[in-house]
């Protein structure tokens, strides 16, 4: 009984933390969208979100984390946590296949488009996205090297191709949304696009024969 109560209380605390994090993120994006990333201070965000500055930094260590945390794809963790006997590429395919088929109701379209607008309007954030992708590429290369010892340069080349492929899939999806395509319609081709992308990664141009219409 005591254990169950403790678990329930721990779950409630985690829910409260997640709500606080979400509120801070939403307030920050709204202010950035209205006035520009550079013009808004962390103090203003904390005040508008109703939290202390130290609380904000507990959730987002730097100002750019308020925007960039949501654009990270931890592909290295997917590779490291793959199932027994599963190849790194199969694990990544399964991960993004699952994401492409998630319930449309889970997607915050306005939030995504706002984030894209904020990033596109800020040279500092655009540089931050590039740096984030570069860091993820290095982490993925390390995970691939650990999963398949002896790869050497091939691990870095594979990581570069995978990262570029995932970024392209995201850009194509966001472009459809930004041009006014309804979410359901924009998401419909995602599953096939993921399969095409990973077929190309796995088999190269020879895989295009099976995707011709």
- Residues shown for the chain: 213
CATH superfamily of the 2-67 domain: Homeodomain-like (1.10.10.60)
Q: Residues 145-179: pLDDT tens digits?
A: 999 999 899 999 999 999 999 999 999 998 888 88
Q: Which helix (H) or strand (E) holds 112?
A: helix 109-120
Per-residue exposure over 27-39, b if at least 16 CB sit within 10 Å of its own CB, e if not = bbbbbbbeeebee
Per-residue DSSP letter, 211: G
Q: Residues 47-62: pLDDT tens digits?
A: 999 999 999 999 999 9
Residue with tokens 């990262």: 163
pTM of the model: 0.79
Phi-psi region of 84 (alpha: psi -120 to 50; beta: other; left: phi over 0): beta
């Amino acid at each position: 009984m005591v254990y169950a109560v403790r678990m329930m209380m721990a779950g409630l605390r985690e829910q409260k933390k997640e709500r606080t994090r979400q509120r801070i993120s939403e307030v920050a994006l709204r202010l950035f969208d209205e006035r520009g990333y550079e013009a808004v201070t962390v103090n203003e965000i904390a005040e508008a979100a109703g939290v202390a500055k130290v609380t904000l930094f507990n959730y987002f260590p730097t100002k750019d984390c308020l925007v960039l945390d949501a654009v990270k794809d931890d592909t290295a963790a997917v590779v490291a946590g793959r199932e027994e006997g599963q190849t790194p590429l199969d694990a990544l395919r399964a991960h993004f296949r699952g994401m492409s088929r998630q319930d449309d109701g889970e997607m915050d379209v306005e939030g995504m488009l706002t984030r894209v607008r904020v990033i596109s309007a800020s040279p500092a954030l655009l540089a931050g996205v590039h740096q984030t992708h570069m860091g993820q590429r290095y982490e993925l290369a390390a995970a691939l090297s650990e999963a398949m010892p002896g790869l050497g340069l091939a691990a870095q080349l594979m990581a570069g191709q995978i990262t570029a492929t995932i970024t392209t899939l995201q850009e194509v999806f966001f472009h459809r949304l930004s041009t006014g395509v309804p979410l359901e319609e924009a998401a419909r081709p995602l599953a096939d696009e993921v399969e095409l992308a990973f077929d190309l990664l796995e088999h190269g141009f020879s895989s295009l024969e099976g995707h011709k219409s």
